[in-house]
Structure 1
Amino acid sequence: MTQQLLPCVEINPSTTPDACVIWLHGLGDSGHGFAPIVPELKLPESMAVKFLFPHAPERPVTINGGMRMRAWYDIKSLDFESRADLEGVKESAAQVEALIEAQIESGIPSERIVLAGFSQGGVIALHLAPRYARKLAGVIALSTYMCEPSLLGSEAKDTNRETPIMMAHGEQDEVVPVFMGNAAFKTLSESGFNATWQTYTMQHNVCIQELNDISAWLQKVLG
């Protein structure tokens, strides 16, 4: 594969990393958006986790009047079934897969890599992980939904069916309504994936309790 790797904000532990979290941002954000959460997670130094926050490519986004911004895919409408542009999702999933493969080549096994995503980033995580041929440590999907859920049954691989998938959503989310996240959770569960579902009293964002729960979850799957 000769494609250039996605540029990332990289936060390394004080010792040689033996695990990695790849965290995908939402529409119009960048890798810088979520990087400040790393100290908030208060992970023990003994865990030696590297964090990568890749920047999505810039592209025109239809619902924003064709304005160019960082986006993992185009959003042509806010319709539940067709919100995510499948071709764009596949393209970004391939770029993120290349990033995972690069971490594996650097010496971090796939079973020590967590794929995380917020909103649009979560769509990519939920598209890639069930179709990925290598075993991952876990998946975090926050305030997000699933692209073309009807395709999951025929395209999913068995490799990550037992992999823990932490799904969380704000009850007052007006950007991605909570029913969309819950529908993705149900689709994963019905397809035999090991997903959990949690809601928080918040909008389309993250909150302190959620970060505390993510920290505990990461310590469990990577500890």
Structure 2
Amino acid sequence: MSEVLLPFVEVCTRPNPTACVIWMHGLGDSGHGFAPIVKELKLPESLAVRFLFPHAPERPVTINNGMQMRAWYDIKSFDFNSRADLAGVQESAAAVSRLVDNQISQGIAAERIVLGGFSQGGVIALHLGTRIKHKLAGIMALSTYMCEPDKLAAQASDTNKTTPIMMAHGDHDEVVPHFLGNAAYKILADNGFNATWTTYNMQHNVCYQEIQDIASWLEKVFC
């Protein structure tokens, strides 16, 4: 992955945004996948937010017979302990970190930036958010899990220990089983992070109530 910024879809709720949400999509999707959710959030007019939905690079994915698709990292195995390719996670986290730096250079304070992601994108949000040196407004991890959780204690930065982390998962998720998300939540809590855990009656997707809860959470972290 080059030093060039990741391409992204940009949606602003109001002119002259003072806050930013960088939201990573899941495997095989693109930044266009979640862009329509901004209107559904119905954020208040007083809150001017720039949403960036970056496109993951295309790469072969082992579990999909090496098919080329947008992915934040390779998935080499269905084994729960090694499904996320660490090298790919680190590479993508570095690329998203450059997006954060770019937003800061454009005048958005780090403490007004939320890192978020769904599934694979949530893995990147958690990996970067717990290690980044900037103090963030929040971290949002939806229907996801953690890459090599046993390394968190040694690698975590204290910078975002008090930063709100919203974790949400479907009770009937067959792609990323519920227990994997809950295990990530417990690892965060055990390491002193300010994480919350909410489950919904859904599969590997988002639901209406979850969208409402995300909107309320964003209002709180940006207030």
TM > 0.5: yes
What is the correspondence of 1:83-122 to structure 2 with a 5 Å cutoff?
83-122=83-122
**1:1-22 CA deviation, whole Å, 9 max, x = no partner?**
x810000000123320000000
Is 1:176 aligned to 2:159, yes or no?
no
Count of residue correspondences: 222
Secondary structure of residue in 2 paired with 1:46: coil
Matched residue, 2:78:
78
Secondary structure of residue in 2 paired with 1:47: coil
TM-score, normalised via structure 2 length: 0.99
Runs of 4+ displaced beyond 6 Å: none
CA distance in 1 between partners of 2:159 and 2:221 (Å) = 16
Is 1:157 aligned to 2:157, yes or no?
yes
RMSD of aligned alpha carbons: 0.7
CA distance in 1 between partners of 2:80 and 2:126 (Å) = 16
Matched residue, 1:196:
196
Given residue 146 of structure 1, which amino acid in structure 2 is its aligned partner?
M
Given residue 87 of structure 2, which amino acid in structure 1 is its aligned partner?
E
**1:81-113 CA deviation, whole Å, 9 max, x = no partner?**
000000000000000000000000000000000
Matched residue, 1:139:
139
* Equivalent pair of 2:59/2:69 in contact (CA under 8 Å): yes
Instruction: Give the helix-richer structure, 1 or 2.
Output: 1
Matched residue, 1:205:
205
* Equivalent pair of 2:116/2:122 in contact (CA under 8 Å): yes
Matched residue, 1:43:
43
**1:138-194 CA deviation, whole Å, 9 max, x = no partner?**
000000000000000000010000000000000000000000000000000000000
Secondary structure of residue in 1 paired with 2:68: strand
**1:49-77 CA deviation, whole Å, 9 max, x = no partner?**
01000000000000000000000000001
TM-score, normalised via structure 1 length: 0.99
For structure 2, the residue ranges without an aligned partner over 5 or more in a row are none
CA distance in 1 between partners of 2:146 and 2:54 (Å) = 20
Matched residue, 1:127:
127
Secondary structure of residue in 2 paired with 1:131: coil
Given residue 150 of structure 2, which amino acid in structure 1 is its aligned partner?
S
**1:4-41 CA deviation, whole Å, 9 max, x = no partner?**
00000001233200000000000000000000000000
CA distance in 1 between partners of 2:78 and 2:161 (Å) = 29
* Equivalent pair of 2:132/2:159 in contact (CA under 8 Å): yes
CA distance in 2 between partners of 1:167 and 1:14 (Å) = 27
Secondary structure of residue in 2 paired with 1:104: helix
* Equivalent pair of 2:142/2:167 in contact (CA under 8 Å): yes
CA distance in 2 between partners of 1:110 and 1:177 (Å) = 32
* Equivalent pair of 2:188/2:195 in contact (CA under 8 Å): yes
Secondary structure of residue in 2 paired with 1:32: coil
